[in-house]
Amino acid sequence: MPRRFLLVGCCMLGVLAASVARGEEGFNWELWRELPIHSGGRQQPLDTLARETLQTVANGDSLADPITKQRLHPTAAYVSMMFDWRGWDHSGRGQLALVGDWHPLYFPLHKADEWDRLPLLDVDSATLRWALGLERGQRRVSPFQLAGATIEDRRTERRLPFATWAGRLQALEESGEELTPWEKEGVELARRLWLYQDHRMGRGLEVLPVEGSERGAWMSVAQLLLTKIDDTNDPSGDLRQCQQLFAQARKSFQQRDAVGFNRASEQLLSTLRQKGTQSGDYPSPRAMTLEVTYHRWTPLRMGWMLMLVAAAGLWMHARWRWKSLRAGAFAAYGVAVVAVAIGLGMRIAIAGRPPVTNLYESVVFVGAGIAVLGLILGFVYRNMHVLTAAATVSTAMLVMADGCPSILDPAVRPLEPVLQSNFWLVAHVLTITLSYAAFALAAGMANITLGHYLLRSNNQAVIKSLSRATYRAMQVGVLTLAAGMILGAIWADFSWGRFWGWDPKEVWALITLLGYLAILHARQAGWVRERGLAALSIAVFSLVVMAWYGVNHVLGTGLHNFGLASGGGGLVIFAVLLQLVFVAIVLLRSWRGDAAALSRLGHCYTRPPRRSTS
């Protein structure tokens, strides 16, 4: 009987794996996932482009087929939308070759279908929703509804089509004129609509290097279908074969002929690779497989999930002291560190550079740094609370990086020209972010220390051990921050011809360094003890938040705007205020307890009045 159940289980797993690999009704989308394309200034698989496009347009990494209601992975959804666009069957499709802006021709050449009627586009601004005339509570709009919407232009007091209104505002923004917040959201909404139309029309899918191009340009699917190809510009016949195979694959898809679709797709992708290798710089299959594997297995997501298990196990062990909980938490912690290291390593291999480009990469690197530094300090001080703090804070960082793609853009971007091939830059950024990891770990341990005071714990041994580890983490942070500033000065001299220029990022790094130096000196001089050290560690971490996030997002000025983030300012301010309120509550409660204890102590030592002898 057990063997029978095992056999049935294996068969079910095999069927499930086959269905995942083949996709809807036997369509083998795996063939398309590793298709090399050019987008965002770099070569990448179609799987990556599909994910980033769906995330930008629909704020998600997958879509449900509007007809079958089956959930499609990004590549299947992307190719399905492109194949379903009927404009290529229209007799007037030749107009596309005569105009620069294709968006006004999207619906004249194509009758709105189920994809166009899906509510894909988020409209966050209540003012914008009201101006578009959306129903109460409607936070999403379909591309078809948005393309046909009108809006009142407050600058001219005229009612205009939404696309016309947004186009005028975009031109004003490019000319340097300041837009209101809701106008900016309107322009951003229009850009997402246009991005959706571009990719459905094949303009966003560049599949072949242009032979002889000095700028490394690639040919899009739309160009491939519109270009008139003959023996003059295609002596080998490969381009004409690509056109024919693309049309054949599209026809088979629309007829739901999975066998014909898979056969045509395999031949098409093989021909594209053959032609691409001959035409110019074409990526290797190994590079594409690596990136697809990175997205399929998501090691960074696995890392925070395992780290969350470790944090939960460590917190429960602190309460119940079960050895099995401690062993399981240690195992989860170690595997989580390995998973995060693998994820970072794969991302570095994919990008061909260290993680120094944007805020997302710095948050992931800080989360990894916290985990490693916590592991070291935890074993040095033999304190499980250090590991608990490290697991908790590292989990928070990794969850934030994985769960906020609209704020922390996870896309792999090429480096700015000023950042390329610069050892000093890489050393500077990695050292600075390592200091952030040390300060974040110190703040995490300080929260546990204050928790002991809040609960009026008498375990002074744990409090003192946590305080020593917090002090050591701050020392590591100060040393790495100072080293990072020196390395940054060397890089600035190479890039900008000066060591120090009072740039906002430089100023706030200096303020942060001085703040932590003040805490270390106060502790060394005996001005603050365990409780004061913990409170100051949390309070001064707000300087790190300002130097790390606030300069780029809040100020948005200076020469360090390479990793500019958008959104999330309210959440960051709320988190900082919540920490400061927690510190204030603990200090107030503990100071009252100290005052009461001193009062009782004074009462015990007060001598009774002497009796009169008279």
Number of C-beta neighbours around residue 154 at 10 A: 12
The residue to which tokens 């714990």 are assigned: 457
**What's the full length of the chain, in residues?**
614
**Angle at 143 (CA atoms; ends 570, 253), nearest 5 degrees:** 120
- The torsion angles phi and psi of 112, rounded to 5 degrees, stand at -55, 130
- For 125, left (φ over 0), alpha (ψ -120 to 50), or beta? beta
Query: Is residue 385 within 8 Å of residue 318, measured between CB atoms?
Result: yes
The whole-number mean pLDDT for each consecutive block of 10 residues of the chain, a chain of 614 residues, reads 37 38 68 93 94 91 86 94 94 90 94 95 90 89 95 88 94 90 92 96 94 86 90 87 94 94 95 90 93 94 96 90 87 96 94 83 94 93 91 95 84 71 79 95 96 87 92 96 92 79 87 96 92 95 91 64 59 90 91 62 54 48
Distance CA 371, CA 354 (A): 19
Query: What angle (nearest 5°) sits at the alpha carbon of residue 558, between those of residues 552 and 560?
Result: 60
Provide the pLDDT for residue 554. Answer: 65
**What pLDDT score was predicted for residue 417?**
62
Name the nearest CA neighbour of 303 among 394, 430, 387: 394
Vertex 259: Cα angle to 255 and 262 (nearest 5): 100
Residues facing 540 on adjacent strands: none
**Residue 62, Cβ neighbours under 10 Å: how many?**
16
Rounded CA separation 77/47 (Å)? 10
Residue 607 confidence (pLDDT): 52
Question: Can you tell me the distance from the alpha carbon of 368 to that of 344, in angstroms, rounded to the nearest whole number?
Answer: 9
Yes or no: say if 440 and 393 are a contact pair by the CB < 8 Å rule: yes
Could you write out the DSSP letters of every residue in 566-593?
-S-HHHHHHHHHHHHHHHHHHHHHHHHH
CB proximity list for 339: less than 8 A, separation 6 or greater: 299, 300, 302, 303, 306
Rounded Cα–Cα distance for residues 156 and 345 (Å): 53
Q: Cα separation of 190 and 556, whole Å?
A: 24
Do strands 42-45 and 36-39 pair parallel, antiparallel, or not at all (unpaired)? antiparallel
Residue 560: per-residue pLDDT: 57
Question: What is the spatial distance between Cα 22 and Cα 29, in angstroms, rounded to a whole number?
Answer: 6
Predicted pLDDT of residue 302: 95
d(C-alpha 304, C-alpha 311), whole Å: 10
Closest of 604, 598, 507, 486 to residue 559, by C-alpha: 507
- Tokens representing 509 are 């790094």
Please give the pLDDT value at position 23: 43
Burial category of 424 from C-beta neighbours within 10 Å (exposed 0-12, middle 13-18, buried 19 and up): middle
pLDDT at residue 6, as a whole number = 32
Other C-beta atoms closer than 10 Å to the C-beta of 401 total: 24
What is the per-residue pLDDT for 62?
83
Nearest to 80 by CA among 108, 113, 123, 107: 113
Domain locations in the chain as residue ranges? 20-85+202-287, 94-200, 298-594
Residue given tokens 């209104």 in the structure block: 165
How far apart are the C-alpha atoms of 360 and 52, rounded to whole Å?
14
Per-residue DSSP letter, 45: E
Reference 284, options 495, 36, 13; nearest CA is: 36
Looking at residue 16, its pLDDT comes to: 37
